[in-house]
Amino acid sequence: MKSRFLFSNKYKPVGWFLFLSGMILGIILMLNNINFPNWEVNVFPLVSENDFFSSPAFEWTLNNVADEIASLLVIIGGILVSFSKTKDEDEYISKIRMESLIWATYVNYVVLILAILFVFDISFLSVLIYNMFTILLFFMLRFHYVLYKTKKGVADEE
């Protein structure tokens, strides 16, 4: 079976590097709760901080882009890790990949439903931000766990 939508296996190490770099930077930013590292850059926001029609939108403004860089690293790295072929990609691995993606989607939305019911105010916004990354994280965890268990089971039989 040919997988048209998967990246080559050579992108997986690059994905792990980007993903882990983004996670480390994101954790540093989250734990310090300050503008560290201070990467101030002129940006052109499409939406202002307060509402859609206030003056900062559509005007160049100075912004610390460390959180945007961390987010992009996590997303791009997570996509490369999640959707790069394994060395021995076959129909069974494709089945595990599909089931893991479905499982991750369900778990992600269960977490979101629980957050809607039990998390409020600004804390809810934080949960929504983290929820952008959890579907990739849940998928990667389950897919690689099932692959590990499958390969371990095959090795134990031999």
Cis preceding-peptide flag for 37 (omega within 30 of 0): yes
The 10 Å Cβ neighbour count of residue 60 is 10
3-class DSSP assignment, residue 17: helix
**pTM of the predicted protein model:** 0.87
Residues 26-48 have pLDDT tens digits of 988 888 866 667 788 888 887 77
CA distance 92 to 1: 10
Residue-level pLDDT at 35: 62
Task: Return the biggest CA–CA distance within the chain.
Answer: 68
Q: Choose among 10, 12, 7, 154: nearest CA to 92.
A: 154
Looking at the DSSP bridge assignments, the partners of residue 43 are: 61
Residues 103-157 have pLDDT tens digits of 999 999 999 999 999 999 989 998 999 999 999 999 999 999 999 999 888 777 7
